[in-house]
Amino acid sequence: MFFDTPLQTLVEQAAAQPERLRERYAMLFAEIERRDATHQSLCEPSWEWLSSELDRIGSLPDPKSRPGLFGLPVGVKDTIAVSGLPTKAGTLGDIGQILQLPQSPAVTALQDAGAVIVAKQATNQFCSSAGPAPTEAIRGKEYFAGGSTVGGAVAVAAGFTRLALGSDAGGSIRHPAALAGVAGLRPRKGSISDDGQINGSLSGQSTGLIARSAADIALILARCPSLHAEPNDRATCDKDRPTIGIPDISWANVAPAAAAALRSCASRLGKMGYQVVSTPMWQTQDAQDDFFFVMSFENWLFHKPLMAEHPEIYSPAVYRVMRAGETIEPREAAAARRRLAGQRKRIFDLARTARVDILLTPSIPWPDIRKDAGSPRELSAEGGRFTAISNIYDLDSLSVPVERSPEGWTRSVMLHGLTVPLARLLSCARDFELPHPEARAR
């Protein structure tokens, strides 16, 4: 299928043969109609909407000046506003209309680059694990599919889109990406705009991307430079081969397959000329407690007026979760923010002293976790054991597949950037990531 070709080939052929795009998208839409009834990764996909998107890019300039992502199929998490589509955030109401959300600048950047917004992507209600999405894991309904950007991860893995725009407040991009066998990026907060989305102001939440590979993510950022603004205050490493720190994970209940994938990846990096060293995890319980304390307070501030006016849109479990910060005083939250800022400075001082540029960890401790292993909240907490460090300390973080099991499923590892710019983190991942096969057999 056309949309299974290498990403650069796809956009170049789309720009060279725009007259064939409608036919190709009609075939893709037929695939979505046939298969997504099972996966439930997309929210009410519509040919009328998709046709309007094709009309929009059809009015763009001639092939020589067409933008860099011309014809690229993209999905958008249903907490991020797209003009012309509802933003329900896993509820039955149009929260985007209630809040009068403007279109996300990240969506505008992708559209200006020629991307086609295929549909919104299913998500947990208000991104809470207490209100899980209906999306089925790519490997089967008995498996856990991951956190709130789950629709995006499954849509990319299934071949319905080549890019997913989502958000990550504790692993919500990287966790489902790892479980689906694709790459997930949580960049530093604000480097991809958080505007135009439900609770985009949440301190630990960052807008990010899911694609088949780190190579695809790097190419998308290169071809759509307005999507990402690189902070440079921590990018102090200028080595061709950054130093990789491997923390001790013996304290954690990590599946043998996940631990083996980490060891294998570290060995390959060493053979490529990277210096690989042992290092502490550096994450402290105090920082973690302050982080979730602030998150609870900010969630309550956002949801308080919405809950007062529209309590009917919340499931009972999510309603209870969003009220968790109700008793927190503003002065207590402010004090926690100050302590957290000090903890963040501490980790960078430690990294520079130890001369460690990137942390390498498992993406998730249990890559084959089943639904019956616990409640969605328990499974999300288990999956976030290694992801949350990047939200707490605001690091660029990338989950990438590195090996394939005999059954054909992938194992992933995660890179957390300490002193390197995102481009260097992506370059490192490209050195060892597993090439992505064509989309799953139909």
Instruction: Establish whether 278 is a catalytic residue.
Output: no
**Is residue 321 classed exposed, middle or buried when 0-12, 13-18 and 19+ CB atoms within 10 A define those classes?**
buried
Q: Could you tell me if 358 and 174 are in contact, meaning their C-beta atoms sit under 8 angstroms apart?
A: no
* Separation in Å, CA 182 to CA 91, 123, 242: 27, 17, 24
* Separation in Å, CA 270 to CA 44, 193, 263, 281: 47, 36, 11, 20
Q: Which of 129, 167, 172, 206 is catalytic?
A: 172
Q: Which of 234, 254, 200, 206 is nearest to 386 (CA)?
A: 254
Q: Which of 77, 88, 120, 189 is catalytic?
A: 77
Q: Could you tell me if 191 and 229 are in contact, meaning their C-beta atoms sit under 8 angstroms apart?
A: yes
Give me the residue label for tokens 């966790």. Answer: 175
Instruction: Establish whether 148 is a catalytic residue.
Output: yes
Tokens of 422: 């995102």
Q: Which of 148, 296, 397, 399 is catalytic?
A: 148
Tokens of 158: 């299934």
Q: Could you tell me if 358 and 242 are in contact, meaning their C-beta atoms sit under 8 angstroms apart?
A: yes
3 state SS of 398: strand
**Is residue 268 classed exposed, middle or buried when 0-12, 13-18 and 19+ CB atoms within 10 A define those classes?**
middle
Q: What is the C-alpha separation between 55 and 46, in angstroms, rounded?
A: 14
Q: Could you tell me if 184 and 399 are in contact, meaning their C-beta atoms sit under 8 angstroms apart?
A: yes
- Cα torsion angle, 84, 90, 94, 97, sign: negative
Instruction: Establish whether 390 is a catalytic residue.
Output: no
Which residues are registered as beta bridge partners of 168?
A: 206
Tokens of 208: 């990010």
Q: Which of 292, 327, 322, 324 is nearest to 307 (CA)?
A: 322
Question: Catalytic amino acids?
Answer: 77, 148, 172
